Structure 1
C-alpha cells in the first residue's frame, strides 16, 4: 500500500510540473489533450498489466512493454521536476516577498504579484527531458538488439604453452522469453560464429520463467559451433523460481526440459562439474557451478564439488552465473581460478559507457563487479553485459554483449 501511495504522489508531482512547463511553452489545447491522453494511456496500461499479472505464467512481453512505456514517461518528467523545482527555489521566495512586503505607495493597495514561469526555463527543461525520452524509446526499439563484440587479451605466466592464443567466446543471460524479433537473434548467432573461437561458453539464464520460452529459438542456437565444443551453466532464472507452479513435480519437470533443450542445442551443461580440454599433451580445466548469488538468490553452487577432479595446479576457467560468487567465495579460495566468467547484472541495461575510458550504471551500487574485466589477487573475472534483456524491454547505453577472450602465455605488457 505504501508503495502505491509513493507511486501516486510521484506521478502527481511529476505531472504537475510537466504540465506547467508545457503550458508555459504553448497555449495550444491540442497539445494539452494529447499530453493527458498519453499520460492516462501509459498509466492505465501499467495498472492493467500489474493487476492482471499471472504468477503462473511469469513475467510476459506485455508486462515488459508496460514497464518500458512507464519508464519512458516517468524519467523525462523527473528531469523536468529537477529543472522546474530549481526555478521555484527562486520564484517562490520572490512571490512571498512580493505578496507580504511590497505595496503600492500611491494607492496604499498591496501588490499581490507572483512571478510567472519563464518560458526559456521551461524550454530548457523540455529540451533536457527529450534526451532520456529519445534514448529510452531507441533502447526499446533498436538498442536491445544492438549487439557488440567486445574483445580482450589476458596474459597468464602459467598458461599451458599449447593454449597460447586460445580463443573463447562467452555469452550470458539470453532470456529468450523476452525476444520479439527472431531475425535479430539469428543475426547475433551468426555474429558469434564469425568470431571462430575455439570454445563457446554460456553463463546462465537461458529463459525468464519456463523452458518452453526457448523452443522457438532452438534451431537457431543449434547453429552455434566451436571446434572444442559448447559448455554452459545455469542461472537463477533457469530454475523456474519466479513462477507459481501447481506442484513441485511440474517445476522439476520444467528444469529437466531446460536441461534437455541445452543438450539438444549442443551445450555440455556443467552442474557443479568440470571438463578438461586437451591439446598437444596439455590441458586446461573448465569448472562449472550451479547458480550461487548473494542477497536472496539461489545458492545451489558447490565450488568444491565442481573442482573435485581438478588438480590445484591446473589452469582453471570457472563458469559462475553471478559475480557475487567470485567476490564472496572464489577470490580467496585455496584453488587459484585464473579466469571466471559471469553475467547476471545485465549492466542494468542502462548506463553511460565510453569503451576504454568510462563506464557507469546504477547497478554499481548493488554489484562491485558489474561489467567487463576485473582483476583481484592475480585472478580475472569477466562480467558479461548479457545477450538478451529482462523486465525493461530495451537497453540504453549498455548494449548486448558477445565477449571474445584470447589467452596469452607470458607477462602482461607494461
Structure 2
C-alpha cells in the first residue's frame, strides 16, 4: 500500500510540474505563480489525505463524492496539459539532438525554449474537460432524458402488439442531494403512457437507510395496469463496505429487498411472472445480479423454470455482461433483456442516432442502448442516478420507454 501511494503521489507531482510550466510560460508575476503553487499543493494534500481517510465501514458519502469530483476537476485538465507539453518535450529533445550533432551549438542553446503558443493551446484544451465536468456536477447529473425505442418481434403475441414498458435503473439514492430535481424525474416517469414499469436494480449505493428520505418521492410513481417489477443490482448486496458482523450485512440486505416493496415494486428473485392480456401471455423473468466481474447470484435456469420454449420472454438482469456470457445464446431464447449497471460511465459523447462513445465501451460490449444478436435483444439503460463522480457529462440520466411491435424490423 505504501509503494502504491508513493507511485500515485509521484504521478500527481509530474502532472503538477507540467501544469506549472504551462502557467509559468503564460503568466510572469511572481505573486500569481506562488499563489498557483500554494493552491495546487493544498488541493493535492487535501485530495490525498481525503482518500487515505476513506472508511470502508461507511462506504461512499457525499464527502467522498465531492472529493472525487474535485480530483477530476483539478487533475483531468492538468493531465491534458501534461500530454501536450510532454509531446512538446519530445520534439524539443529531438531538436536539441539535431542541434548538437549538426550545428555544434553551445550547451545552453541546444534545447529550444518552451513555446508560448503550445502552452496556450494546452490551457485552452484543458478548459474543455474542466467546464464539462463542472457542468456535469451542477446540471448534467439531473438532466433527465426520456429515450424511446421500438423493438420488433415476429413472434410477439398479437395482444402485446404496441405494449409499452418504462424502464429505470441504477437509482443510487444515497447520492441524491436535490428533492426538486428527483420529483421532476418522477413526473417524467409518470408522464409516459406505458403499460408496465421495470426497475433493474441498484436502489442504493450500499445502505438501506440511504433510500429512507426518498421513499415518499418514489412512492409517487403511479400504478401500472400490468404491474411494477424490479430486480437487484450489484450495489444492493452491500458488498463494497466492511460490516461489523455478518448479521449486520444480512439485516441490511433484508432491508434493501424490502425497499422495493415499500415503493410498490414486485421484486423478482430468480423467479418469473406471467403477464396476461386479452387471453394471451408473456413471461417476465427476473434474476438476481449476475456480472462477469461482479456478484453472480443470478440463476437463469431457476428463474425460467416453468417457462416454455414457445413463450414470449422478457428478462430483467442488472448487468449486461450477463447477456453477453449467458443469455444471448441461451436455448430458451429470451427475446428482450433489460439491463443497466454501466451508467455509460457517466462520461462520454453522444449524438443520438449518429455517434456514441464512452470509456464504458472498452469494458462492456453492451453499454448503452439497444443491441441485437440473432433476433434477440438487450437494452442497456444509462442509469437514473450517479455514483462516485457526482455528475454526468454527455451520457445523461435516462428514463427508457420501449414499445413492443409485431414485425421483423427495428424502427
TM-score normalised per structure 1: 0.95
Unaligned runs of 5+ in 1: 105-109
CA deviations on 1:7-32 (whole Å, 9 max, x unpaired) are: 12221221111111111111123432
The yes-or-no answer on 1:358 pairing with 2:363 is no
The yes-or-no answer on 1:57 pairing with 2:55 is no
Q: Distance in 1 between matches of 2:160 and 2:326?
A: 27
2:405 corresponds to which residue?
Answer: 408
Q: CA deviation at 1:350?
A: 1.1
1:284 corresponds to which residue?
Answer: 282
Q: CA deviation at 1:111?
A: 6.4
1:144 corresponds to which residue?
Answer: 141
Q: CA deviation at 1:96?
A: 4.8
Instruction: Select the residue among 256, 260, 272 that pairs with 2:270.
Output: 272
1:120 corresponds to which residue?
Answer: 117
Q: CA deviation at 1:392?
A: 1.1
| Matching of residues 66-215 of structure 1 within 5 Å | 66-98=67-99, 102=103, 110=106, 112-113=108-109, 114-215=111-212
Taking a change above 3 Å as real, the CA distance of residues 151 and 392 of structure 1, as seen in their structure-2 partners, is: same
Taking a change above 3 Å as real, the CA distance of residues 378 and 31 of structure 1, as seen in their structure-2 partners, is: same
Q: Distance in 2 between matches of 1:411 and 1:402?
A: 25
Q: Distance in 1 between matches of 2:325 and 2:267?
A: 23
CA deviations on 1:166-203 (whole Å, 9 max, x unpaired) are: 11011111111111112111111111111121111000
Taking a change above 3 Å as real, the CA distance of residues 184 and 38 of structure 1, as seen in their structure-2 partners, is: farther
Q: CA deviation at 1:97?
A: 5.0
SS for the counterpart of 1:341 is: strand
Q: CA deviation at 1:309?
A: 2.4
Taking a change above 3 Å as real, the CA distance of residues 45 and 196 of structure 1, as seen in their structure-2 partners, is: farther
Aligned length: 408
Q: Distance in 1 between matches of 2:391 and 2:93?
A: 39
1:261 corresponds to which residue?
Answer: 259
| Matching of residues 367-378 of structure 1 within 5 Å | 367-378=364-375
1:107 corresponds to which residue?
Answer: none
1:21 corresponds to which residue?
Answer: 22
Say whether the 8 Å CA contact 1:99–1:112 is kept in structure 2. Answer: no
**90-99 vs 315-324, which moves further:** 90-99
Pairwise CA RMSD? 1.7
Q: CA deviation at 1:352?
A: 1.2
Q: Distance in 2 between matches of 1:19 and 1:78?
A: 12
Instruction: Select the residue among 353, 377, 390 that pairs with 1:393.
Output: 390
Unaligned runs of 5+ in 2: none
Say whether the 8 Å CA contact 2:347–2:358 is kept in structure 1. Answer: yes
